[in-house]
Structures are given as C-alpha cells and as structure tokens.
Amino acid sequence: MRYFFHIRDGEDLILDQEGSYCANLAVAIEEAKADARELMAERLRSGKELDGQSFEIVDDTGRLAAVVRFKDALPS
C-alpha cells in the first residue's frame, strides 16, 4: 500500500506528494521513525528547535493512519 508521510511542524503541514510503498502500516511507522531520526539530526546540526514535529502517515485512500512524533522515534 502507498503511504504519504506528511510532516507537521507546529501549525505548518508539509505534504508528501509522492508517498512510499510499504507492506503494511507497521512498516510505514518504522520508516517514519527512521526518517524522523535523520531529520532530527539535521535540525540539531543546523541549530533548529526539536519540539513539535511529527509525521502524519496517510494511506492511499486519504485516511490518517498514524501519527509519529519525532521525539518518539528516539530510543528510550
């Protein structure tokens, strides 16, 4: 199934126009967590704030399937 990984940053929403094919929602969530870790590293290197960002994972029917907060992608 194709999933779209929109980025929520406070009030802003950056739409993923292409999406990615994932076997299921669990795989999509893991992909979002990996991408969130990369984006957080980039934000740290550039001195940007790390509060409030998340992925809104939307399936190919337009349904919000999951929300992955960037901070939740960090190991405990």
pTM: 0.90
Q: Which two tokens stand for residue 29?
A: 């969530």
Mean pLDDT, range 31-52, rounded to an integer = 89
DSSP 28-59: HHHHHHHHHHHHHHHHHHTT---SSEEEEEEE
Mean pLDDT, range 12-16, rounded to an integer = 96
Question: For residues 41 and 35, what is the distance between their CA atoms, to the nearest angstrom?
Answer: 10
Question: For residues 71 and 52, what is the distance between their CA atoms, to the nearest angstrom?
Answer: 8
The DSSP bridge pattern shows strands 12-14 and 20-21 to be unpaired
The rounded mean pLDDT for the chain is 94
Domain boundaries, the chain: 2-73
Strand partners, 68: 55
Residue 17: band (very low, low, confident or very high) from pLDDT cuts 50, 70, 90: very high
Comparison of pLDDT for 59 and 50, the residue scoring more = 59
Residue 7: band (very low, low, confident or very high) from pLDDT cuts 50, 70, 90: very high
